């Protein structure tokens, strides 16, 4: 009996050593496909409250009705109280007070999510949920896809908080309906989108503002009545939401044919034909059918040309890889993020299908050049074409040609240098596998 008891204790300690030893690292508390590989940054609780909100630990405790919240917070955070007082929530016959969204218990305060808002706005929530059946890109799946990205899991979490700030549109509603006013009129304006829909891979702001639609908006938009629903005849030119969230439907994915331009698609699949019909109906608010159709054809032709160029360059890079001409070689650089097999069988990732979207760091300069050609210039050219900003599209198409030419020249130089031989081999590992940030990145997920 005595021995059995000791054996049991020993087994317990073996299985659960943290019962007696607190020196073990905290377990990772991530979410998604690589949940066991990363630990969230403290800001994560604000971007994805449903999964990461921490309970209140401040000294304020008690159960408070809304009037008391307002009285106190008018002193502590007066800005949000003033903002709320100007909101539809405050002006409603039955005002929607703080506890309706945050709860009454100050030690168990809730950060509102889509579900919270959906309690009173079920139709909007349902529309948003419906996006999920169309996959990504969509607002509804934005947070899930962000944390599933291999480079997100791999990088130090403070470094990638900005990803979450935009992808939080998949977790909560205030990306577009800023708190605590939650004004639909604000969300209808194109500027409501540009905090996230800007920058090299998705210059939706610059391409839209460069288009005829955007130019008209810039000239007159401030005087339009933004309280009106996004319906035919209400606006002289469309903003982002007018087309992408037609008639105010909280659904941006049901017309997504080219999906950000990140890979080539077949616009003639049954699904895409249905989506194109939806676009045609949208454009028909102002344009006759042939105009919309010729626009789709022009867009598809532009994409075809862009992908011909991208495939040519992608093929060139793959050929360099097969000739062992990429430096550092895959074995001389940190492994592809979150890929255990790659540690044993290292391989350079080239193109969309090999996951190059997560291989924009720790790669050779020529691979990065291709990444920028594909992910920045190509996607910008696509946005220019899709938003009907021809000069904008041409600018980035020219950059694609220049970049392709530079990559081809560089490939010739690499071929002339030849593959690794004992005579020209240098210790690249010390450069690529060591270094202050590289070490930090390796040790901090």
Q: How far is CA 180 from CA 70, 86, 88, 196, 442, in A?
A: 13, 9, 10, 20, 40
Here's the x/- map for another protein, 326-365, by CB under 8 A: it reads as -xx-------------------------------xxxxxx
User: Which residues lie below 8 Å from residue 357, measured CB to CB, with a gap of 6+?
Assistant: 149, 151, 262, 375
Q: How far is CA 219 from CA 212, 236, 238, 280, 391, in A?
A: 11, 11, 13, 26, 19
Asked if 260 contacts 202 with a C-beta cutoff of 8 angstroms, the reply is yes
Buried b (16+ CB within 10 A) or exposed e, 374-402: bbbbbbbbbbbbbbbbbebbeebbebbee
Site for another protein in 425-444 (CB under 8 A): 425-426, 428, 431-432, 435-438, 440
User: Contact with another protein (CB under 8 A): which of 71, 191, 219, 281?
Assistant: 191
User: Which residues lie below 8 Å from residue 214, measured CB to CB, with a gap of 6+?
Assistant: 190, 208, 237, 387, 389
User: Contact with another protein (CB under 8 A): which of 130, 148, 159, 254?
Assistant: 159
Q: How far is the CB of 375 from another protein (least distance, A)?
A: 9
Told to check if 29 binds another protein by CB under 8 A, we report no
Considering the complex, state which of residue 285 and residue 372 has its C-beta at the smaller distance from another protein: 372
Q: How far is the CB of 437 from another protein (least distance, A)?
A: 4
Q: Which of 153, 160, 159 is nearest to 30 (CA)?
A: 153
Phi and psi at residue 53, to the nearest 5°: -65, 130
Considering the complex, state which of residue 169 and residue 283 has its C-beta at the smaller distance from another protein: 169
User: Contact with another protein (CB under 8 A): which of 50, 194, 265, 293?
Assistant: 194
Q: How far is the CB of 111 from another protein (least distance, A)?
A: 10
Considering the complex, state which of residue 189 and residue 250 has its C-beta at the smaller distance from another protein: 189
Asked if 208 contacts 189 with a C-beta cutoff of 8 angstroms, the reply is no
Considering the complex, state which of residue 156 and residue 267 has its C-beta at the smaller distance from another protein: 156
Neighbours of 176 (CB within 10 A): 20
User: Which region among 36-44, 64-72, 126-134, 388-396 touches another protein (by CB under 8 A)?
Assistant: 36-44
Told to check if 412 binds another protein by CB under 8 A, we report no
Site for another protein in 235-264 (CB under 8 A): none
3-class state of residue 105 by DSSP: strand
Q: How far is the CB of 126 from another protein (least distance, A)?
A: 26
Q: ∠ CA 387-388-393 to the nearest 5 degrees?
A: 90
User: Contact with another protein (CB under 8 A): which of 145, 287, 318, 368?
Assistant: 368
Q: How far is the CB of 258 from another protein (least distance, A)?
A: 21
How far is Cα 174 from Cα 83, in angstroms, rounded to an integer? 13
Neighbours of 126 (CB within 10 A): 12
User: Contact with another protein (CB under 8 A): which of 32, 66, 99, 156?
Assistant: 156
How far is Cα 305 from Cα 46, in angstroms, rounded to an integer? 42
Told to check if 407 binds another protein by CB under 8 A, we report no
The footprint of another protein on this chain (CB under 8 A) covers a number of residues equal to: 66
Told to check if 205 binds another protein by CB under 8 A, we report yes
How far is Cα 412 from Cα 402, in angstroms, rounded to an integer? 16
Told to check if 46 binds another protein by CB under 8 A, we report yes
Q: How far is the CB of 199 from another protein (least distance, A)?
A: 4
Binding site for another protein (CB under 8 A): 41-43, 45-46, 58, 76-83, 86, 156, 158-163, 165-166, 178, 181, 186, 189, 191-192, 194-196, 198-201, 205, 222, 325, 327-328, 360-366, 368, 372, 410, 413-414, 417, 424-426, 428, 431-432, 435-438, 440
């Amino acid at each position: 009996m005595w021995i059995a008891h000791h054996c049991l204790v020993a087994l317990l300690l073996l299985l659960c050593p943290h019962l007696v030893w607190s020196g073990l690292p905290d377990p990772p508390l991530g979410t998604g496909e690589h949940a066991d590989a990363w630990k969230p940054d403290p800001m994560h609780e604000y971007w994805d409250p449903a999964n990461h909100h921490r309970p209140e630990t401040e000294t304020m405790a008690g159960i408070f009705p809304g009037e008391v919240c307002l009285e106190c917070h008018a002193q502590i955070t007066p800005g949000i109280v003033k903002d709320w007082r100007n909101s539809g929530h405050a002006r409603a016959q039955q005002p929607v007070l703080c506890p309706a969204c945050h709860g009454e218990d100050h030690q168990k305060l809730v950060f509102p999510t889509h579900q919270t808002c959906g309690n009173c706005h079920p139709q909007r929530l349902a529309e948003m949920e419906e996006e999920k059946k169309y996959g990504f890109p969509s607002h509804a799946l934005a947070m899930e896809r962000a944390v599933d990205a291999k480079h997100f899991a791999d990088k130090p979490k403070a470094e990638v908080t900005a990803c979450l700030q935009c992808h939080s549109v998949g977790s909560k509603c205030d990306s577009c309906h800023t708190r605590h006013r939650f004004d639909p009129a604000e969300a209808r304006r194109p500027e409501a989108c540009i905090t996230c829909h800007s920058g090299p891979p998705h210059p939706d702001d610059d391409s839209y503002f460069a288009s005829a639609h955007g130019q008209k908006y810039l000239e007159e938009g401030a005087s339009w009545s933004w309280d009106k629903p996004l319906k035919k005849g209400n606006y002289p030119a469309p903003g982002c939401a007018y087309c992408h969230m037609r008639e105010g439907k909280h659904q941006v994915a049901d017309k997504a044919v080219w999906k950000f331009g990140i890979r080539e698609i077949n616009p003639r699949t049954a699904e895409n034909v249905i989506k194109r019909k939806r676009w045609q109906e949208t454009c028909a608010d102002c344009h006759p059918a042939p105009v919309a159709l010729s626009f789709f054809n022009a867009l598809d032709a532009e994409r075809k040309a862009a992908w011909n160029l991208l495939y040519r360059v992608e093929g060139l890079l793959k050929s360099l890889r097969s000739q062992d001409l990429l430096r550092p070689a895959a074995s001389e650089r940190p492994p592809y993020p979150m890929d255990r097999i790659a540690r044993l069988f290292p391989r350079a990732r080239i193109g969309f299908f090999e996951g190059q979207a997560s291989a924009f760091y720790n790669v050779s300069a020529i691979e990065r050049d291709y990444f920028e050609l594909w992910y920045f210039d190509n996607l910008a050219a696509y946005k220019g074409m899709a938003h009907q900003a021809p000069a904008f599209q041409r600018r980035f198409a020219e950059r694609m040609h220049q970049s392709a030419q530079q990559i081809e020249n560089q490939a010739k130089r690499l071929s002339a240098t030849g593959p690794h031989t004992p005579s020209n081999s240098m210790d690249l590992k010390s450069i690529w596998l060591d270094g202050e940030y590289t070490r930090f990145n390796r040790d901090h997920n």
